[in-house]
Amino acid sequence: MQKKPVLEVEHLSFSIGKEHHLLRDISFSINQGDFIVLSGKNGAGKSILMRCLKGLLQPDAGSITIDGQDLTGRPKKRNRSIGLVFQDADTQLVGQTVERDILFGLENLNIPPKERTVRMQQVIRLLGLAPLLHQRPRTLSGGERRRLAIAGVLVMQPQVIMLDEPFANLDYPGIVQVLESLVELKKQGTTILVATHEIEKLLAYADSMLLLDAGRVVTQAPPQEVLEIVEEFGVRRPRFHGKPIPVGDLTWLK
Ligand SMILES: Nc1ncnc2c1ncn2[C@@H]1O[C@H](COP(=O)(O)OP(=O)(O)OP(=O)(O)O)[C@@H](O)[C@H]1O
Ligand SMILES: [Mg+2]
């Protein structure tokens, strides 16, 4: 079956003032159900790009199409269509308990109670949050908190979910928890964009890799191809005893 593009970005630029061109002529597309790894060294523009896509920043030029609809001039609609899990997941947690926190967005959207319950049950199961429902978000571990942030985004059923450095500040079990959730989401057909330079943890699952440098797209291609050039752009190619590790082994699961 032919895959359908869900997000299409063409010639996107974003600058602050006249001199700071943070994104330049960015074009790429993501198909329904794809798992895309967005990489590039510090300052390459990964976070800015995600914020522009979500509608938190308004691009100067270019277009953003979601499900065939041009949403460039409609940041609110993009905000609904794209779920973003921030690097600092704590800023996203608002409820007194885990359960309240997940419900928060749904209540704001006036989703009917029955539908709320169904969606809640889905994300709670998916992210293994059942034992934590009555706990305060503040008392969760880093990995648990990131899973909660992912749940809060997923429950809104965005067309695309984006995660900015989902492994930052997590220990090994925390990383495994988040990674297992991502793999499960992928299995269910969710379209996922993950910004990270920690490619050794998850590249095995990527359908393609989007490499940024200095606010420009270097390439969007199968991971195997991009790995050949990543080191020119400040991203370490994972190696073992100096030899490149095969893409299929780039996972922290198993
Ligand atoms: N408000 C701002 N004013 C000026 N420059 C900014 C502003 N916000 C971000 N930048 C610059 O934009 C560039 C891209 O930043 P961005 O946060 O998108 O990088 P990144 O790829 O996410 O990096 P990291 O891997 O460190 O998270 C950086 O050089 C940053 O200094
Ligand atoms: Mg960033």
Spell out the domain ranges in the chain.
Answer: 5-249
For residue 93, pLDDT over 90 is answered with: no
Instruction: Give the closest residue (by CA) to ligand 1 atom 9.
Output: 48
- 70 in Cβ contact with 10 (< 8 Å): no
Instruction: Give the closest residue (by CA) to ligand 1 atom 30.
Output: 43
Average pLDDT, the chain: 94
pLDDT band at 18, cuts 50/70/90?
confident
- In CATH, 5-249 is 3.40.50.300: yes
Percent of the chain at pLDDT > 90 equals: 84
Instruction: Give the closest residue (by CA) to ligand 1 atom 29.
Output: 43
| SS3 call for 163 | strand
Tokens of 208: 């393609």
User: What span, in angstroms and rounded, lies between the C-alpha atoms of 128 and 15?
Assistant: 40
| SS3 call for 45 | coil
Q: What is the pLDDT of residue 1?
A: 62
H helices of 55-163, in order, are 75-81, 98-108, 113-126, 142-154
Q: What is the pLDDT of residue 151?
A: 93
Q: Of 176, 175, 146, which Cα lies nearest the Cα of 161?
A: 146
Quote the pTM value. Answer: 0.95
Q: What is the pLDDT of residue 120?
A: 95
Percent of the chain at pLDDT > 70 equals: 100
| Ligand 1 atom nearest to CA at 43 | 19
User: What span, in angstroms and rounded, lies between the C-alpha atoms of 77 and 209?
Assistant: 26
Q: Which residues line ligand 1 (CB under 6 A)?
A: 16, 20, 22, 40, 42-48
User: What span, in angstroms and rounded, lies between the C-alpha atoms of 209 and 221?
Assistant: 6
Q: Within the chain, how many helices (H) and strands (E) appear?
A: 7, 12
Tokens of 148: 């909660």
How far does residue 233's CA lie from ligand 1's centre (Å)? 16
